[in-house]
Structure 1
Amino acid sequence: MSFSIQAGRPAVRACESAADMADAVGELYSSAAEDAVLIWNLVPVRLSFGDDLATLLDDLVPLLENVQREDFSGTDVFWGSDTFSAEWVISREGDWLRLRARWHSTLGNYESLLTERGDSVVRTPAFVSEWAKVLRRMVTDIEAGPVELEDDDIFVRAKVLLTD
């Protein structure tokens, strides 16, 4: 597979309440916690839970909802964290998704190598399943807290994705 994610099990800090899921994730995981690792055509890219994934959440959950729709044909996504910045053009090709990326910054400065490796192609269910690993980790840790969210929209939607 040219696209996969290792979610890991980062240490969790106490968090009683947060504005939304992204804020809760930023509070729960320190910058020193274990990172998730996205594998793009055999190149490992670290994603910090407390910084990168917290920043990506508001775009990630709608993206995963959209790629599963029958009428989905494609979209552009900008991942805008300090240590994971990229533009992805995602297009459907039958049961597959083609991910074309323009890499701006990654932990480890792998942008040139990632660009050299080219597009990543993955079956739609596998793409959703890989991202679900990190969503499951975050949802589980928020529920275990338990963390009270003022705005639980993305959290509820993430839970729905995990039950599909």
Structure 2
Amino acid sequence: MSFSIQAGCPAVRRCGSATDMADAVGEMYASGAEDAILVWNLVPVRLSYRNDVAVLLDDLVPLLEEVGRPGFSDAQVFWGSDTFSAEWVIVREGDSLRIRARWHSTLGNYESLLAERGDVVVPAEEFVGEWAKLLRRIVTDVGAQCAELEDSDLFGRAKALLARSSDTPQHVLPRRRRVCRPC
């Protein structure tokens, strides 16, 4: 596969409340926690939960919603973290997606190597499924840490994406605004 994501199991800190899901991610994961790994044409790229994933969420959830729509044809996304900065143009080709990337910065300075590896072509369902692993990790951790979110819109949308995923056990999807058992 030319595109995959390893969500890992980063250590999590308690987060009693947060402005939104991205803020909760920034608070829950320490800067030294295990990173997620995005694999682009066999090149591993580290994604820090605290610094990268927290920033990517605001663009990731809408992108996955858009890719999942029946009429989806193309999209452009700018990943704007300091240590994961890239522009992706995503175009549907039959049941697959072609992703053209301009790499600006990555942990490890792999931009030139990533550019040499070229486009990624991945079945649309697998693209969404790979990112769903990362979202599942976050939704589960937010639920386990009893995070009260002032703005739960993005969190609710992420849960809805996971609920549509055929391999998501329903018991890991918290259902209330306060996303855990009473503490």
Alignment TM class, shorter chain as reference: over 0.9
Sequence identity percentage: 73
- CA distance in 1 between counterparts of 2:160 and 2:146 reads 18
Report the counterpart of residue 130 of structure 1 in structure 2.
130
SS in 1 for 2:139: helix
One-letter amino acid of the structure 2 residue matched with residue 107 of structure 1: L
Is residue 148 of structure 2 the alignment partner of residue 148 of structure 1?
yes
Question: Is the contact between residue 18 and residue 147 of structure 2 (CA under 8 Å) also seen in structure 1?
Answer: yes
Matched, 1:54 2:49: no
Tell me the secondary structure at the aligned position of residue 97 of structure 1. Answer: strand
CA distance in 2, matches of 1:96, 1:129: 13
Which amino acid is 2:23 matched to?
Answer: D
AA matched with 2:4: S
Q: Which runs of 5+ in 1 are unaligned?
A: none
TM-score (norm 1): 0.99
Q: Equivalent residue for 2:173?
A: none
AA aligned opposite 2:75: T
CA distance in 2, matches of 1:91, 1:151: 31
Letter aligned with residue 157 of structure 2: R
Report the Cα distance in structure 2 between the residues aligned to 1:124 and 1:72, rounded to whole angstroms. 10
**Aligned residue for 1:160?**
160
TM-score, L = length of structure 2 = 0.89
CA–CA distance in structure 2, aligned partners of residues 49 and 139 of structure 1: 13
Contact 2:14 2:146 in 1 (8 A): no
CA distance in 2, matches of 1:37, 1:104: 17
Shift of 1:94: 0.7
Paired residues in the alignment total 164
Instruction: Give the superposed CA RMSD.
Output: 0.4
Letter in 2 for 1:42: L
Alignment of 1:35-46 (within 5 A): 35-46=35-46
- In 2, Cα distance between equivalents of 1:132 and 1:51: 19
User: Where do 4+ consecutive residues of structure 1 move more than 3 Å?
Assistant: none
Give the partner amino acid of 1:153.
D
Instruction: Specify the code of the residue in structure 1 equivalent to 2:79.
Output: W
Q: Which runs of 5+ in 2 are unaligned?
A: 165-183
The within-5 A match list for 1:1-150 is 1-150=1-150
For 2:103 and 2:146, locate their aligned partners in 1 and report how far apart those are by CA, in whole Å.
36
1:18 maps to amino acid: A
CA distance in 1, matches of 2:4, 2:128: 10
User: Larger C-alpha radius of gyration, 1 or 2?
Assistant: 2
Deviation digits for residues 106-139 of structure 1, max 9, x if unmatched? 0000000000000000000100000001100000
